[in-house]
Every structure is written in C-alpha cells, then in structure tokens.
Structure 1
Amino acid sequence: MIVTATPRYTQIVREVWKPLLLLFVWDVIVTVTYYVLPFKAPSLPLTLFGSALALFLGFRSNSAYQRWWEGRSLWGLMINASRNLARQARNFLPDPEATDMKRTIVLRQVAYVNALRCQLRKQSPDAEVLRFLSKGEADFALGRTNVANGIVDGTGRRINLAMKNGWIDTIQQSAMESVLVDIANAQGGMERLKNTPLPNQYRFFPTLFTHIFCILLPIGLVESLGFATPLGSTVAGLMFLAVLAIGDDLVDPFANTVHDLPLNAMCRTIEIDLLQSIGDPAPEPAQPVKGVLW
C-alpha cells in the first residue's frame, strides 16, 4: 500500500505509458489524416458518451473500492481477535502448569496469520509461518489443503485439551472458542473476496466502452482542436483510462502489489502484540520501503 502523500510519478508513468502511447499515436493518425485527406468529421455526442461512460466507470470503481475496504475491515477484525485470543490464553490458563500451553496457543496464532497471508497472496508458507511451529505441528498443518485452517483446528484442540486437564472451565472454553469462530469467519470473508471476482459485466463492458470512447474521441474533436487534437484527446482519454485502472488496482486487495493491503505490516503488528503479551521479545514494526508498506 502506498503511504506517501506525494504522487509517485515514476509509478504512474510505468502504469500508463503503454495505453497513453497507443492513444497518442491514434490521435496523431486521425489528425494527420484529417489534414492530408480532408474529410468531414462526424458530429459525435461526446458529452453524452462521456457521461454514460463515467457512470459505468463509477459503478465499477465503487465496487472495487468496497472490496478493498471490506478486506481491510476483515483484517482489522483479525488483529482484534488475535489480541483477544492471546489475552484469554494469558488470563485463563494458570501458571506454572499451563505455561507451555499458553505460549503454544499464542505462537500458533502468529503462525496462523502469516499462513493466511501467504494463502491470500498465492504463496507457499514462508519462514514466518514455520518458525512459530514445532516440527510435528508444522507437518500436520502443511499436510492440509488449507494450511491456515489446519493451524486453527490445532489451536481448538489445545483449548479442548486445556479444559480436559482442568486448566479452564467450560465457560472459559466457550469464550475462547467464540474468538476462534470470529477468526474463522474473518478468514472465510477474505477467501470469499479472493476467490470471487467482480461479475464479468463489471469487468468487460467498462473496458470495452472506454476503449471505444478513446477511439472516437479524436474523430469528434479534430475539427475544433485542429493540430492540438493529439494533446487534448490524449489527456481526456487518459482520465478515463486512469479511472479504469483504479478499478483494476483495487479489485483484489490481497494481490501483493503496491496498491493492495499491507498484509506483512499487519501480520507484524499481530506478532508484536502477541509476543509482548507473553513477555517475549518482539520485532520492530514494519516500515515503508520507498513509500510502500507491504
């Protein structure tokens, strides 16, 4: 996620130069053709076309932003649920007989959020997952199709074992299971966003209409703008292409690009809070790299 307030001009140029160049070349072709082979440019209702296209792009951008914000909200719930689970483990499980169980539950939750991060980004579980699990626990989780869910299942079994050992009562077990339900619900919402793209109508038609509009734009402007047509038409077309690109950037909040949610930073926040809750040393918060928080 880009966190700097100033525009990243190199990033902007890198994203738009190809469509911008194609649009400019087409505008030049139309302008040169108009003067070399004089023709009567048709009167096109560009204002009407542009207004209709703006509505299409507005619906698409709003839908994409809603997905992005829902992803951020679900990760906010995940951060809070992780803190709640660590606090319950610390307060419910007695010392010293349940100290190891307490640490295991907290460390498994740190491993879980990192495993979920890797799954959402379509990556293999990294060292941040494995270093918080013992060899046997890691093998059990990695053997599951859904690694993150396997880690949560293991945490639930440990909570049940704590109740059987008499370390917590049924009310405390129910409270901790309720937090695991919140965690599972948040994960399910993230998986829904990841695995369900925008409907095809929201993706195909705005793209098609934007490209058609950019093709017609210099034809409708060449009589009024003359030799300035390539500049004016390119700038106007760029505005619509930029709005189209915004929807593409936001539609998948977990795609691991500069526009997506900073899952690394949020996992680091959870790691810091949970390790400090059990008195372990914690790393420093994640910092932006060249204005981007990953």
Structure 2
Amino acid sequence: MIVTPSPRLKRIVLDVWKPLLALGIWDVLVTVTYFVFPFTAPSLPLTLFGTALALFLGFRDNSAYQRWWEGRILWGSMINASRNVARGAGAFLAEEDGQEVLDLRRSITLRQIAYVHALRCQLRRQDPSAEVRRFLSDDEAAEPLGRRNPANGLLDGTAGRIEHAMRKGWIDTIQQTQLERILVDIANAQGGMERLKNTPLPNQYRFFPTFFTRLFCVLLPIGLVETLGIATPIGSTIAGLMFLAVLQIGEDLVDPFADTIHDVPMTAMCRTIEIDLLEALGDPAPEPLQPTDGVLW
C-alpha cells in the first residue's frame, strides 16, 4: 500500500508511459491526417460517449474500492481476534498449573502467529513453509503444511489443543467455548478473504470498461482536432490519459491481496500481530515494519 501523501513522479511515469506513448502517437497521426485531408467530425456524440463512460468507470472503481476496503476490514478483525487468542490462552492456562500448561499456552500463541503469516502467503500465492517453520518445529509444521490449505490446518490444530486442555481439566467448558468462539471469528475472516481472492469481478465489469475506454481514446482526437488544431496531441493525450488512469485505479484495487504496491499491507499487519503475541509471551519482538520507498507491504 502506498503511504506517501503525494505520488512520486518516477512511479507515475512507470505506470503511464506505455499508454501515454501510444496515445501521443495516435493523436499525432490524426492531427497530421486532418491537415493533409481535412474532415469534419461531430463533437456531441463524443461528449455523450465520454459522459456515459465516466459514469461507468466511476461505478466500477467504487466496486473495486469496496472489495479493497472489505479486505482491510477483515484483516483488522484478524488482528483483534489474534490478540484475543493470546489473551484468552494467557488468562485461562495459568502458570500454577505446571510447565505442560505453559507449553500449551505458548504453542497456541505461536501457532496463531504462524497462522496469520501462512494466510498472508496463501492469499499472495506464495509458499508459506518458511514462515510457518519460523515459529513451529518441523514436527508441528508437517501436518498443516501437508494440507492444501495450511492456514486452516493450523487453525484446526489450535482447536485440537484447546480441546485437549479441556479434557485435561486445565480449562472448563465455558472457557473452551469462549476460545472456540474466537477461532470461529478467525475462520469467518479467512473465509471472507478467500472469497475476495477467488471471486474476481464479473467479466462484464472488466471487459466492457477496458474496451470502451480504449475506443474512446481512439475516437477522442478525431472529435477534438477540428477545435484544437495543432494542439490536439496535447489536449487529446491528457484527456485520454485521465480516462485510462481511472480505468487503472479499478485494476489496482480489484484484488486487495495481490502482491503489488496497491494491496492491503498484510506483511505489516502480520508483523503487528507477531509483535503483540510475542510480547504477551514475554519474548523479544521485532520492530514494526516500516515503509520502503513509500510503500508499506
């Protein structure tokens, strides 16, 4: 996620130079053709076309932003639920019950840290093995990493450990229910994230805006050249670029979990969870993740 208050010129140029170059070349060709073979093109249809296209693109961008914001809300819920897991384990599994109970509390907390990192990697289509093994032994990591959904495997393992604590008499059924309710909230958040990741915008939302925006950019200099004359390449390129920029905004936001500079900063949020839970155990914790070149990952 870009966190700088104003966009940097280098990043803007890298994003727009290809369509800017294509638009500029086409606009120059239309302008030269007009002065060699003068023609007349009505401007009203192009005005109506542009108005309708602007409304269409605005509606699409709103839909894309809603997906991005929902992803951020779900990760905010994940941060709170992770803290609640550590708090509940620390409160219900007391030190006076012995070393085995302390080991179980530690295992539950470390598994939650491994879980959020695994979920982050899954959503970004990355291998979670290295992140999981940072917090779990090879024996503990083998079972969840052998699943198609390692994050869900880690969550199942945590539920099994809570049930084991109840059968041992270390927690009662009410405490088990409270911890299980937190795990249900975590599972619901994961399900929402997977829904966003695996369900793209309908094809009509992707194809038609792209097609009509490019068509509008092709027609734009034809409708403007009679009015702008030799300045057509400048005016038409700038106007067309605005429409292409609005189109690109939707493309950037439609997948909130893509591994790009525009996605939800999952790495930073996982680091926040890691810090809070390690400190709950009394372990040394890393520093919060800082933006790199204006981007928080």
Report the AA paired with residue 213 of structure 2. Answer: T
Q: 1:161 corresponds to which residue? A: 164
Match for residue 250 of structure 2 among 247, 252, 256 = 247
Measured after TM superposition, the shift of residue 38 of structure 1 is 2.0
1:8 maps to what in 2? Answer: 8
Does the CA-based 8 Å contact 2:129-2:145 persist in structure 1? no
Which residue of the other structure, out of 104, 125, 128, is the alignment partner of 1:125? 128
After superposition, residues 1-294 of structure 1 pair within 5 angstroms as 1-96=1-96, 97=98, 98-294=101-297
CA distance in 1, matches of 2:200, 2:56: 17
AA of the residue aligned to 1:292: V
Q: By how many angstroms is 1:232 displaced?
A: 0.1
Deviations, residues 61-87 of structure 1 (Å, cap 9, x unaligned): 000000000000000000000000100
Letter in 1 for 2:73: S
Q: How many aligned residue pairs are there?
A: 294
- Cα displacement (A) at 1:269: 0.1
1:16-55 Cα offsets, whole Å, 9 max, x none, are 1101110111100000000012223344422211110011
CA distance, structure 2, for counterparts of residue 273 and residue 46 of structure 1: 56
Distance 2:194 2:234 in 1: 44
Gaps of at least 5 residues in structure 1 are none
Answer yes or no: is the 8 Å Cα contact 1:112–1:152 preserved in 2.
yes
CA distance in 2, matches of 1:139, 1:128: 13
**Amino acid of the structure 1 residue aligned with 2:115:** Y
TM-superposed deviation, 1:135: 1.3
Question: C-alpha distance in 2, partners of 1:158/1:9?
Answer: 52
TM-score by length of 2: 0.97
Say which SS state the counterpart of residue 95 (structure 2) adopts.
coil
The AA in structure 2 aligned to 1:63 is S
Pairwise CA RMSD? 0.9
Between the aligned partners of 2:171 and 2:221, the Cα distance in structure 1 is 73
Counterpart CA distance in 2 for 1:211 and 1:65 is 22
The answer to whether the 8 Å contact 1:103/1:278 transfers is yes
What is the letter of the counterpart of residue 88 of structure 1? G
2:124–2:258 contact (8 Å) kept in structure 1: yes
Deviation at 1:99, TM superposition (A): 0.4
Could you tell me whether the CA contact under 8 Å between 1:42 and 1:219 is conserved in 2? Answer: no
Is 2:79–2:273's contact at 8 Å kept on the other side of the alignment? yes
- Once the 2 structures are TM-superposed, how far is the Cα of residue 10 of structure 1 from its aligned partner? 0.9
Q: In 1, are the aligned partners of 2:20 and 2:241 still within 8 Å (CA)? A: yes
Deviation for aligned residue 1:126: 4.5
Alpha-carbon separation, structure 1, partners of 2:209 and 2:128: 36
Q: Which one-letter code corresponds to 1:16 in the other structure?
A: V
Structure 2 stretches lacking a partner, 5+ long: none
The answer (yes or no) to whether the contact 1:118–1:126 under 8 Å persists in 2 is no
Whichever residue aligns with residue 214 of structure 2, its letter is H
Q: Output the CA distance in 2 between the equivalents of 1:163 and 1:43.
A: 75
Distance between the aligned counterparts of 2:151 and 2:43, measured in 1? Answer: 59
> Which sits farther off after the overlay, 61-70 or 34-43?
34-43
**Conservation of the 8 A alpha-carbon contact between 1:111 and 1:129:** yes
One-letter code of the match for 1:150?
A: G
